[in-house]
Amino acid sequence: MVIPVLIGMTLIVFFILRLIPGNPAQLILGQRATKESLEALTSQLGLDQPWYIQYFSYMKGLFTGDIGTSIRTGAPISQEIWPFFIATIELSVVALLIAIVIGMNAGVISAWFQNSWFDYTAMVIALVGISMPIFWLGLMDQWFFSIDLGWLPSTGRENVRDPVTPITNFYLIDTLIQGDFSQLNVVVKHLILPACALGTISMAIIARITRSSMLEVMRSDYIRTAQAKGMRMFWVVYKHGLKNALIPVLTVIGMQMGILLGGAVLTETIFGWPGIGRYIYEAINFRDYPVIQTGILIVAAFFVLINLVVDLLYAAIDPRIKYH
């Protein structure tokens, strides 16, 4: 299933450029472009060839690592995109971790103390969380925690006067490898606001699904048996309850990666985070179509692969699920 979907994605992304009404080269260069520059760009983009030849050479490029050249910077996209992509992954993973830790625990405690004040408060917050525009939350966070209180930096990923020396481009890992804890502190401070803003919707969704899944599991006979044996309620809930309630939660967590990668476009724009979302957004403003195509394809392909990993994880968590 994964391979046909990936091929289908390349087709859709490939046609983004070809479906634009008029000559894309003219659109990129503007109305004042000379005939020579138009012809040169048309030929560079391969637009003078039949579409199937264009698609074939596009696919050949994808397999050989040649994913095009940015019109804005003139640099190969394969070199340019990597640090942006890693920056987005770092932000999304931290956002997801925050969402899982807080969301799952809120869901478990809500189910454990069903109809208590904690349950009502947590579920109202979750409802507000899924209904809130992520970019608005980001702006409010920025205003309150950066401008008003001055606790956290409002934009960027690092201190521009003392930049991190990239090794893996995961700045949390890079600063740890270098043993530079003052820079680690700066990197963490830059991460908190965008990661919290990005993780809020996922946190709310995870809290809601964990609660409903736990409520179902907590009515099972084996939970009653564990309680009857005199096991401490904490272990009954977390060991017997949560483990069996995990499959729907895991499905939702897998889906969150897509929401996070999509939401990254908005969060990165607000917080000036140099990730792939901002890279695509800036490319849109400059009509840098090769970058838009490749950026969208990379994010979407990554999302498909994450879902594949989640599918494989089911079997590890639930031995009743087997893949042949």
Q: How far apart, in whole angstroms, are the C-alpha atoms of residue 105 and residue 260?
A: 20
76 φ/ψ angles, rounded to the nearest 5 degrees: -60, 135
Residue 186 interacts with other proteins (CB under 8 A)?
Answer: no
CA of 284: how far to CAs of 18, 55, 289, 292, 295, in Å? Answer: 16, 22, 7, 7, 11
For residue 223, the minimal CB distance to other proteins (Å) is 22
Q: Do 278 and 285 form a contact (C-beta atoms < 8 A)? A: no
For residue 277, the minimal CB distance to other proteins (Å) is 9
Nearer to other proteins, 10 or 78 (CB): 10
Q: How many CB atoms lie within 10 A of CB 162?
A: 10
Q: How many CB atoms lie within 10 A of CB 245?
A: 26
Residue 93 interacts with other proteins (CB under 8 A)?
Answer: no
Please identify which residue in 304, 313, 314, 318 interacts with other proteins, judged by CB under 8 A: 304
Name 69's bridge partners: 76
Q: Do 283 and 291 form a contact (C-beta atoms < 8 A)? A: yes
Residue 127 interacts with other proteins (CB under 8 A)?
Answer: yes
Q: Do 155 and 139 form a contact (C-beta atoms < 8 A)? A: no
For residue 282, the minimal CB distance to other proteins (Å) is 11
Please identify which residue in 56, 82, 136, 151 interacts with other proteins, judged by CB under 8 A: 136
For residue 139, the minimal CB distance to other proteins (Å) is 5
Residue 131 interacts with other proteins (CB under 8 A)?
Answer: yes
Using DSSP, state whether 69 is helix, strand or coil. strand
Residue 292 interacts with other proteins (CB under 8 A)?
Answer: yes
For residue 148, the minimal CB distance to other proteins (Å) is 8
Please identify which residue in 56, 60, 133, 239 interacts with other proteins, judged by CB under 8 A: 133
Q: Which residue has the tokens 């490749």?
A: 294
# residues contacting other proteins (CB under 8 A) = 46
Residue 303 interacts with other proteins (CB under 8 A)?
Answer: yes
Residue 217 interacts with other proteins (CB under 8 A)?
Answer: no
Residue 156 interacts with other proteins (CB under 8 A)?
Answer: no
69 φ/ψ angles, rounded to the nearest 5 degrees: -125, 140
Residues 6+ away with beta carbon under 8 Å from 156:
190, 271, 272, 273, 274
Name 100's bridge partners: none
For residue 301, the minimal CB distance to other proteins (Å) is 9
Q: Which residue has the tokens 């985070």?
A: 273
Interface region with other proteins, contact rule CB under 8 A, candidates 47-55, 159-167, 170-178, 300-308: 300-308
Query: Encoding tokens for residue 324?
Result: 């042949």
Residue 149 interacts with other proteins (CB under 8 A)?
Answer: no
Query: Encoding tokens for residue 68?
Result: 């095009």
Please identify which residue in 42, 69, 110, 142 interacts with other proteins, judged by CB under 8 A: 142
Spacing of C-alpha 50 from chain mean position: 35
Nearer to other proteins, 233 or 284 (CB): 284
Q: How far apart, in whole angstroms, are the C-alpha atoms of residue 324 and residue 314?
A: 14
Of 254, 297, 286, 304, the closest CA to residue 85 belongs to: 297
Nearer to other proteins, 100 or 280 (CB): 280
Nearer to other proteins, 53 or 127 (CB): 127
Residues 232-271 that bind other proteins (CB under 8 A): 258-259, 261-263, 265-266, 269-270
List residues near other proteins by CB under 8 A. Answer: 1, 4-5, 8-9, 12-13, 16, 19-20, 127-128, 130-137, 139-140, 142-143, 147, 258-259, 261-263, 265-266, 269-270, 280-281, 284-285, 289, 292, 296, 299-300, 303-304, 307
